[in-house]
Structure 1
Amino acid sequence: MSVKEAAPPRAAPRRQQPKTRPKRKNSQWWIPWLFLAPALILFLYFKFIPMAQAVSMSVQEVRPYLGNTWVGSANYHEILSSDSFHSALGNTVVLAIGQTFGSMVLGFGLALLVEGQTRKLTFIRSAAFLPVVVPIAVVAELWRIMYHPTSDGLLNQLLGLIGLGPSGFINDPDTSLASIAVTGIWRGAPYDMMIFLAGLAGIDRGLYEAATVDGASTRQRILHVTLPGLRPVFAILFVLAAVRGFRSFTEVFLLTNGGPNGSTEVVMTLIYKLGLEQNRLGVGSAGAVLLFVATLVLTVCVQLLRRRRTV
């Protein structure tokens, strides 16, 4: 028999309970809203309340200091039957289509050219994005100078180098709307470029490598890999660019103010003139509501088509 006493059994190690985060007190739910409150107040006061007032004014005859009178749908009937509204609506649609597709095509081309991670491309991307951050008033003034209708104008000098005569640009009813569209494309394409770059970064590089191994050319890789991968980006950009085109005002107002002879009159400039120059605030508000409804319908239709394709 051993003289050593048997050792007592060793206790099993105790499992450490995982540390649980303290539950957030329900009394602190208001803290995020507190930080959002200044922005929400500004949006409410300068955006949502004026929108509600515009809807209310669209069914009234607005008479400052005399009291508004209810007229129902008379304002809508007046603006819908107006030839100037039909002309402005047509110019708005043409300008929106031109700026939308022009900025998307140019932005997509720029994105393909500057895609990469080198420092030189970073500088080029920053330089290409400058038209977006420059105030639209400065952009309009620069293009107004370049559109000078005489042979001494910058663009007319460039046209003279290739044997073309001087153009009136914004002073010619035949070219004024196209000239404004070019200005909008020049300013909107860099914005589309940045969104395209974000979309290109999300495409699997293995697809390009597989296409290269299969002998696909650069054009085939763009058609069969890049464009399908950017389909959601195209849908988003189409809505943004279309809304931007429908709301064109500043560049039109500063470059031509709707002239010459109404060739560049758009819905926004017409609403401005009806409400603030002719003091017909009720009719102008009706036009603003119609423009909002058209933009909303376009956005909803694009989203529905996008969901059908993804299902």
Structure 2
Amino acid sequence: MTTMSPTAPVTDGTAAPRAGQGGKVQRRTPQAWLFLAPFALVYAAFMVGPMIWMLVASFFNTSTVHEGLGSFAGFGNYVEMFGRDDFWSSLWHTLQFTLYTVPPLVVLSFVLAVLTNRASRGQWFFRLAFFLPFILPSATISLIWVFIFTPSSGLWSLPATLLGMDPGSGILASPDTAMIGIAIATIWWTIGFNFVLYLAGLQEIPRELYEAAAVDGATPWQQIRRVTVPLLNRTTGLVILLQIISSLKIFDQVYLMTSGGPGISTQVSLGLITDTAFTDNRVGAASAASVLLFLIILVIAIAQQIVSRVGTKREEAS
């Protein structure tokens, strides 16, 4: 009988795993690249390619009227955008919409998820009820809320009367309240996505932790504060990040509900970019505005991640 040395290599026809840094096993799987190739090609064609073209076009006087990139403009399109009042006003409206939507969408989705997770019966109904609006297209949501906000005859007239507002003046017709109306419609529409993320995180928390806290005399509020909130820090950071990015890219609801009006009181950054590219036929200037918006979103996202990590480290240290 022959014996195999402990150090003898395995020769069963398959490639043996390689030990990498830290003792981790690394496998070479060329088949994985074959499966990733279709997605990589589509991503490169419809995402990476247009982004590179947008960056290049931002340095030229590109137009939809003439073929090619047009004459070289250098940083002229960027300088122009920095000097345009409507660029800064649209950016402020975008940030205003973000401030209106991000806190309610984070807090309300967390509260609804906690209440649903504690419900002993009918959880499927609450999941369906809160998530159902999210699967509807933006055009449907916009039409629903335009009807709700219709002066006098819309469903908004009753709460408007209770709040002391004039139901005859529509919420979307006033520059002071139009963005609030769009934010209300957006919160109702998208809260289901954050709700599902929080609910999935809650179901990963062991019940034993709540039972131990209850034995120690913790009230339900103390359990949420001391157990639920700390264990959902990562989920909260993800929800905040995704919601900030989504709110900064607002376009559909504004275009369908107010078209940037009244006046330009609800014109957002993507609306300005669209008007510059397809109404003014100035693709180069619109590309410069797109690059600036991308950089703003990137900076805000990185800042949010840094703040989130610093807060997590402080809690772990304490």
TM-score (norm 2): 0.85
CA deviation after TM superposition for structure 1 residue 69, in Å: 1.2
Question: Which residue among 49, 70, 73 is the counterpart of 1:71?
Answer: 73
CA deviation after TM superposition for structure 1 residue 102, in Å: 1.2
CA deviation after TM superposition for structure 1 residue 232, in Å: 1.2
Aligned to 2:160: 159
Aligned to 1:8: none
Question: Which residue among 244, 247, 260 is the counterpart of 2:246?
Answer: 244
**For the structure 1 residues 20 and 125, does the alpha-carbon distance in structure 2 shift closer, same or farther, using more than 3 Å as the test?**
farther
The whole-number CA distance in structure 1 between the counterparts of 2:157 and 2:307 is: 43
The whole-number CA distance in structure 2 between the counterparts of 1:215 and 1:164 is: 46
CA deviation after TM superposition for structure 1 residue 117, in Å: 8.3
AA partner of residue 260 (structure 1): P
The whole-number CA distance in structure 2 between the counterparts of 1:132 and 1:20 is: 53
Equivalent residue runs for 1:7-156 within 5 Å: 23-24=14-15, 29-63=29-63, 64-65=66-67, 67-115=69-117, 120-148=122-150, 150-156=151-157
**For the structure 1 residues 136 and 20, does the alpha-carbon distance in structure 2 shift closer, same or farther, using more than 3 Å as the test?**
farther
The whole-number CA distance in structure 2 between the counterparts of 1:103 and 1:67 is: 42
CA deviation after TM superposition for structure 1 residue 231, in Å: 1.2
CA deviation after TM superposition for structure 1 residue 81, in Å: 1.2
CA deviation after TM superposition for structure 1 residue 22, in Å: 5.2
AA partner of residue 115 (structure 2): L
Q: Which runs of 5+ in 2 are unaligned?
A: 18-27, 314-318
Identity over aligned pairs, percent: 34
Higher mean Cα deviation, 118-127 or 130-139?
Answer: 118-127
> Residue deviations 1:192-240, cap 9 Å, x none?
1111112112223233222212222222222222111111111111110
CA deviation after TM superposition for structure 1 residue 25, in Å: 8.8
AA partner of residue 37 (structure 1): A
Equivalent residue runs for 1:199-238 within 5 Å: 199-238=201-240
Aligned to 2:276: 274
Q: RMSD across aligned C-alpha pairs, in angstroms?
A: 2.6
Q: Which runs of 5+ in 1 are unaligned?
A: 1-11
AA partner of residue 152 (structure 2): S
**For the structure 1 residues 72 and 199, does the alpha-carbon distance in structure 2 shift closer, same or farther, using more than 3 Å as the test?**
same
AA partner of residue 35 (structure 2): F
**For the structure 1 residues 22 and 300, does the alpha-carbon distance in structure 2 shift closer, same or farther, using more than 3 Å as the test?**
farther
CA deviation after TM superposition for structure 1 residue 71, in Å: 1.0
**For the structure 1 residues 181 and 210, does the alpha-carbon distance in structure 2 shift closer, same or farther, using more than 3 Å as the test?**
same
The question of 1:174 aligning with 2:176 is answered yes
**For the structure 1 residues 83 and 204, does the alpha-carbon distance in structure 2 shift closer, same or farther, using more than 3 Å as the test?**
same
The whole-number CA distance in structure 1 between the counterparts of 2:165 and 2:73 is: 55
The whole-number CA distance in structure 2 between the counterparts of 1:25 and 1:281 is: 54
The count of residues paired between Structure 1 and Structure 2 equals: 295
> Residue deviations 1:148-175, cap 9 Å, x none?
1x21112114434676530411111111
The whole-number CA distance in structure 1 between the counterparts of 2:38 and 2:228 is: 42
CA deviation after TM superposition for structure 1 residue 296, in Å: 1.2
Question: Which residue among 297, 300, 309 is the counterpart of 1:298?
Answer: 300
The whole-number CA distance in structure 1 between the counterparts of 2:12 and 2:82 is: 61
**For the structure 1 residues 251 and 211, does the alpha-carbon distance in structure 2 shift closer, same or farther, using more than 3 Å as the test?**
same
Q: Report the 3-state secondary structure (helix = DSSP H, G, I; strand = E; otherwise coil) of the residue aligned with 1:23.
A: coil
AA partner of residue 146 (structure 2): R
Q: Report the 3-state secondary structure (helix = DSSP H, G, I; strand = E; otherwise coil) of the residue aligned with 1:70.
A: coil
**For the structure 1 residues 49 and 136, does the alpha-carbon distance in structure 2 shift closer, same or farther, using more than 3 Å as the test?**
same
